[in-house]
């Protein structure tokens, strides 16, 4: 029995290592050639295994795509987490919104994997348990409460993500969103339409300016957690 346990642990470690090699190879193919180029045979060639060995870890190509998509959602949440700790709720919301767009624009292939056709066809059990709206909703509720507005914060958080997703999707195609400054302005206009312009003291006061600077600076230089 004592000799069996180390063997079991080694076998489990080897399975985990091969699974990670499959995901690493898949990630590199997608980053280099795009999602359409990903195939089980190409992945197998990249890691020096037979295609059949991949099916011991993943049901099919779409299963691999979904795994990479879940990884992308986790990286995005990690990227946004520091912004969620900003004290001022309006500055916090702006930081989260700009951070989301920055991540999507800076890591286009990783972002695409998060919203691929394979992801869209996934069952609820296959989807990541936490996504960006889970960070947006509490801040949106705080802002609504301050204005004595009754909202469904979950639905509004999904609407916010839909707007930000549209900005990311258009950024590579629409000259009107070619620059970061233009994208930031678009997001700010949308937030102003929802919650009204920021109060003057939030623009000019010492505390408000500090919050705005802390919110804006990381969005210009997003973390590389999502670089895959």
Which is nearest to 90 in space by CA: 176, 6, 197, 223? 197
In this structure, what token pair is assigned to residue 173? 């195609």
The pLDDT of residue 223 is above 70: no
The pLDDT of residue 208 is above 60: no
In this structure, what token pair is assigned to residue 109? 């292939």
The 10s digit of each residue's pLDDT in 49-92 is 999 999 999 999 999 998 998 899 999 999 999 999 999 999 99
pLDDT at site 126: 58
pLDDT at site 122: 55
Average pLDDT value for residue range 28-39: 91
Average pLDDT value for residue range 137-157: 92
The 10s digit of each residue's pLDDT in 35-59 is 889 999 999 999 999 999 999 999 9
pLDDT level of residue 209 (50, 70, 90 thresholds): very low
Q: Tell me, letter by letter, the H, E, C secondary structure of the chain.
A: CCCHHHHHHHHHHHHHHHHHHHHHHHHHHHHHHCHHHCCHHHHHHHHCCCHHHHCCCCCCHHHHHHHHHHHHHHHHHHHHCCHHHCCCHHHHHHHHHHHHHHHHHHCHHHHHHHCCHHHHCCCHHHCCCCCCHHHHHHHHHHHHHHCCCCCCHHHHHHHHHHHHHHHHHHHCCCHHHCCHHHHHHHHHHHHHHHHCCCCHHHHHCHHHHHHHHHHHHHHHCCCCCCCC
Alpha carbon distance 215, 228 (integer Å)? 24
| 180-195 vs 89-106: helix crossing angle, rounded to 10 | 140
The pLDDT of residue 218 is above 50: no
What pTM was computed for the model?
A: 0.77
């Amino acid at each position: 029995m004592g000799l069996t346990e180390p063997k079991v642990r080694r076998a489990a470690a080897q399975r985990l290592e091969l699974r990670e090699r499959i995901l690493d190879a898949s990630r590199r193919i997608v980053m280099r050639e795009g999602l359409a180029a990903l195939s089980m045979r190409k992945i197998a060639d990249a890691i020096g295994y037979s295609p059949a060995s991949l099916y011991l870890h993943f049901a099919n190509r779409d299963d691999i795509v979904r795994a990479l998509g879940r990884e992308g959602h986790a990286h995005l949440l990690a990227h946004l987490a520091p912004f969620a700790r900003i004290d001022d709720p309006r500055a916090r919301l702006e930081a989260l919104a700009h951070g989301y767009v920055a991540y999507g624009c800076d890591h286009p292939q990783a972002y695409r994997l998060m919203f691929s056709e394979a992801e869209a066809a996934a069952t609820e059990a296959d989807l990541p348990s936490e996504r960006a709206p889970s960070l947006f909703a509490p801040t949106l509720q705080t802002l609504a409460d301050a204005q004595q507005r009754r909202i469904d914060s979950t639905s509004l958080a999904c609407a916010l993500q839909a707007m930000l997703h549209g900005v990311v999707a258009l950024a590579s195609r629409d000259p009107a969103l070619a620059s970061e400054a233009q994208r930031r302005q678009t997001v700010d206009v949308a937030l102003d339409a929802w919650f009204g312009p920021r109060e003057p003291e939030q623009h000019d006061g010492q505390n408000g300016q500090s919050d705005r600077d802390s919110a804006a600076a990381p969005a210009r230089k997003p973390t590389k957690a999502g670089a895959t």
